[in-house]
Each structure stands twice: as structure tokens, then as C-alpha cells.
Amino acid sequence: MPIRPENRLRYPADWKQISRRIRFERAGGRCECIGECGHDHGGRCQARHREPHPTNGKPTVLTTGHRDHQPENCADDNLAAWCAPCHLAYDAEHHRTNAARTRAARRRAVA
């Protein structure tokens, strides 16, 4: 995922190395998603870096995501090697949850 400029300072200086280690040493170049993105992969996602993506046939780009969406938190168990579709779906889920929370808070504020 491209890092948004306003978030760049929140990443550790050695983020590139961390990201590489997670994606290629730990994940072996394969998406680590086992359904947390909201899609049912029937187990672990089959997408592999640079190989055609199993669902859309496009070359897979593996990215490193933060499960809690906090770039500062680079503990191994907070990081996941995800293909772009899984990463997007996981983040979209988060955005929906946040939007719902904001709406609920607004409703409470006017009540």
C-alpha cells in the first residue's frame, strides 16, 4: 500500500526491511490472509507475489498491513503480508466500522 504522506513519519525508519522480512521471510511471498479481510478463501489466500492473482489474474503485489491500523505498532503479530485485494478489503472493513462509530457518536451527540 502506498504510504500516505501524512502517515510517513509514523513508520519506523527501518520499515522497508521490516516489511520485506514479513512478506518474504515469514510469509514466503504468499498472502497470509485466512479470511480476516472478509473474503472466504477456503483457508489461506492463494495469492503469491508476482504471480497472477487467483481471483483477478493480475500480477499479485504483496503488501504489509497493520492489523490495528497503527503504523507505529510494528510488532510481528500486528503485521500481515497481504495481497492488494485482501489489504483493501481489510481496510475497507475498518473504514466502515469507523464510519459507523462516528455516525453512532453523532447520533448520541444530538440525542
Instruction: Summarize as ranges the residues that interact with Zn ion (CB under 5 A).
Output: 31, 33, 37, 39, 45, 47, 83, 86
In angstroms, give the least distance from the CB of 41 to Zn ion. Answer: 6
Q: Quickly count: other Cβ atoms within 10 Å of residue 55's Cβ.
A: 14
Residue 18 φ/ψ, nearest 5 degrees: -60, -50
Hey, what's the cell of 52? Answer: 497472477
Nearer to Zn ion by C-beta: 10 or 89? 89
Residue 65 CB, nearest distance to Zn ion (Å)?
Answer: 10
Query: Measured from the CB atom, is 10 or 39 closer to Zn ion?
Result: 39
Q: Which of 56/70 has CB closer to Zn ion?
A: 56
CA distance 46 to 53: 8
Taking the complex as a whole, how short is the minimal distance between the CB of residue 90 and Zn ion, in angstroms? Answer: 7
Q: Give the DSSP H or E segment for 65.
A: strand 62-66
Which grid coordinates belong to 66?
497493520
Residue 48 β-bridge partners? 30
Give 50 or 107: the residue with its C-beta nearer to Zn ion: 50
Residue 86 C-beta: closest distance to Zn ion, Å = 3
